[in-house]
Every structure is written in C-alpha cells, then in structure tokens.
Amino acid sequence: MNNDGIYFRKKNRLEGYDYSNGGYYFITTCVDRHRELLGEIIDSKCELNKFGNIVEKYLLETAVLYPYMEIDYYVIMPNHAHIIIIIDPSKAGDKKIKSLSDLIGVFKSRSSAAIRREGLTEFKWQPSFYDRIIRNEKELYNIRRYIEQNPLRWEIEEGFTENTPLD
C-alpha cells in the first residue's frame, strides 16, 4: 500500500520478457481465497470432484485449442493447480502465438464458466498466477518432482499451500 492508501499488486511477470517465446513455464494458479473446491487429498492423491474434473478437462482442452501449447506435467489440488506448460513456436503454423498470460486466461475463464454452469455460481480463480521460466533440465526435474509430490506434502502438512518450490 502506498501513502495514499492505494494497494499495488506485485508484478508477477519478468519485466521485458516475451512470454510468447518458446520454452518451459511453471505455473501455479489458485482458487479465490484458497477455497478447497476442486477435490480432496486421499492416500496422497488428489481425488477430484466434478469441479476439479472440469478444471482438468479445460486445462487439457486449452492445449488442443492452441497446438503450440503442450501440458508437460500437472497436478490439480483442492484449491490450486500446478502446471508445466511448453510453448513451441514451431507448432504454431500461421497462427499468432498467444502469451502465457493469455493462454492461462483462456483456461481460467473457460473452466470458471463451466464450473458456474454446474452450480458453483460463486467460483472464481485468483486474478493472477505464479510463474517461473524453467531455465534448465535440473530445474525441470525439480519442478516435476515438486508437482508429483504435492499431494503427499499436502497430506503431511494438512493444507500447506506454498506454491513456490524454488527460491
């Protein structure tokens, strides 16, 4: 908050970076107010409910809509999703490549609308998302492991929602 009482959101994106560039990106997006609406953790696995299944469906459909976008690895948790997205410009053909923010926006708006149609009329995602540009194979390995182990950590730590696995 500044001296005038106005809140400023921290910029999440790397300044000056073109997020439509090819590469690997680690994304975390959270349900508004971290409400646990997408499923529950049972035996170290997230058992998705109908809303979680909708999130998964629209995540995978977004990659079909935009063939230059690939979902490498993901987990949908009760109140957030971790995703590794690959943007491959060679698969764009003559289509303009959307930025990472635009792709996440498509996924979030389509999944939100479908969830609301299914009766959870107050559903929404937090306005932004966490991202990290994956810079090398070691980071990719560590982030994949983090995603894979997220349900186990949730169970151990009973709702721990830290979403930044790397400093």
Which residue would you say has higher pLDDT here, 162 or 138?
A: 138
Instruction: Judge whether residue 165 has pLDDT over 80.
Output: no
**What mean pLDDT comes out for the span 91-99?**
93
Residue 95 sits in a domain whose CATH number is 3.30.70.1290
For residue 121, the number of C-alpha atoms closer than 13 Å in the C-beta half-sphere is 0
Q: How far apart are the first and last CA of the chain?
A: 25
What confidence score (pLDDT) does residue 17 get? 72
Q: Supply the range of the domain harboring residue 146.
A: 23-157
Residue 9 located in a structural domain: no
| % pLDDT > 90, the chain | 75
Beta strands in the chain (DSSP E): 23-30, 39-42, 45-48, 69-76, 80-87, 130-134
Residue 139 located in a structural domain: yes
3-state secondary structure of 31: strand
Of residues 91, 102, 27, the one with CA closest to residue 64 = 91
What confidence score (pLDDT) does residue 21 get? 86
Instruction: Judge whether residue 8 has pLDDT over 50.
Output: no
Residue 166 located in a structural domain: no
Domains in the chain: how many in total? 1
Instruction: Judge whether residue 16 has pLDDT over 90.
Output: no
pTM of this prediction?
Answer: 0.85
* 54-91: pLDDT as tens digits: 999 999 999 999 999 999 999 999 999 999 999 999 99
Model confidence band, residue 129 (pLDDT cutoffs 50, 70, 90): very high
